[in-house]
Structure 1
Amino acid sequence: MTFDSLALVLVYLFVQLFANKIISSSAIGRFKWLSFSGGVAVSYVFVYVLPSLHKEQEGFSETKGLTMESELYILGLFGLLIFYGVHKAAERAAREHEQGEGHFFWIQVVFFALYNMLISYIIFASDIEGIEAVFYGVAVGFHFMAVSHDMWREDSKRYESLGRYLLAVGIVAGWVTGVFAPLPSFVLAIVFAFISGAMVLNVLKKELPSEENAHFKTFLAGSLGYTLITLALKYFFNW
């Protein structure tokens, strides 16, 4: 366990537990916060997640001698479809219950606790470290913030009382597994593929601000700014 990983998981826990207080108390404003976060998340998907998935697929095919050359992409599709099904079920539950989503809210919390665990595991079990890990970890922190805020909007009372702590437990579980009990590299590739599909869905469905909530200049600044910094760091440090 390194100091970097410990500091990063503490930041993730702080963001997960206090995201709504951070957003609501900031002078920047909620719409600008979420627009900037969405911009960073979209950039992260296109400049890191998708290229990394392609790299993992190439290594996976060579190691396992597979000829389809799309196994991990199919797993990513499964991840997207499963979480899309959860989203649609949550929307249906919200329509059928007078007060929020009823018991389905807790099912959704469990899914996102698992989601947090897998993302956290990928971050801490991967071979990236130092400044590179912190830089990419920042984007994941913004993503956790957006997911937290979205869950809070769906049922603020139950989320504040217990839901946010369950999501935080997912982060801790992923950190513990990634640092102290890392799985073989091919399993890491499978987990990364599955969670990449889920992340693509959540970013595009949940983090792209709606027209009435969007602050386009802030969204553009987050997206282009993170992209340019990423490309510069890759060029100078050969990431």
Structure 2
Amino acid sequence: MQRKTLSTMLSTVVLILVAISSSEAFAHAVAEGDKGYIQEITGTHIIAFMYLGAKHMVTGYDHILFLLGVIFFLYRPKHIALYVSLFALGHSTTMLLGVYFNIGINSYIIDAIIGLSVVYKAMDNLGAFQRWFGVQPNTKLATLLFGFCHGFGLSSKIIDYDISLDGLVPNLLAFNIGVEIGQLLALGAILILMGFWRRHTHFYRQAYSANVVMMSLGFMLIGYQLTGYVVAQY
């Protein structure tokens, strides 16, 4: 049973690595079809922007990795709700304000910071801060602050859409609602899988390896984005 579970985990990791190793995934780019559609339309399109928001969150591997890290060792619904709400408050605030005031942050830099958030959460789950530095960061504050960073990541993608100012506010609100719907869908899937995994007798032993993998993926994201930033300068 243990060997089968470890094999399943390894297969999942391989699939994640394959998925994010493509250039489109690493760049977290706006799909050309979606970008072309948004650039052609004007006015209020609630359903379309809700769909785009949900799609962006569900396919946003970096957001999902951070969300997984946040709820990894949370068991009580009220604790899960608190941390997810802090994350949602953070990314909703900066996403809306970033687009409305056209605050542009280099996509490579903000995506590298998002990768850093994944590294931070994996290290926190491993107890590395207490073991190595003798301190424990405020996990609630960190979740909110990294939520702000994830929000700027979202806003930079929306700015890439070059959307019309006609209907901007309702479209932004619809996009944000879509993001929250996508987050709830992703959270539901994660909680179901985690529920089954936590019943396994070797969960805590495997949890260590899983968070090491998560931290490695975060470092990969940081390295790729910083490399992209340097290359883009030439």
Q: TM-score when scaled to structure 2?
A: 0.36
Q: TM-score when scaled to structure 1?
A: 0.35
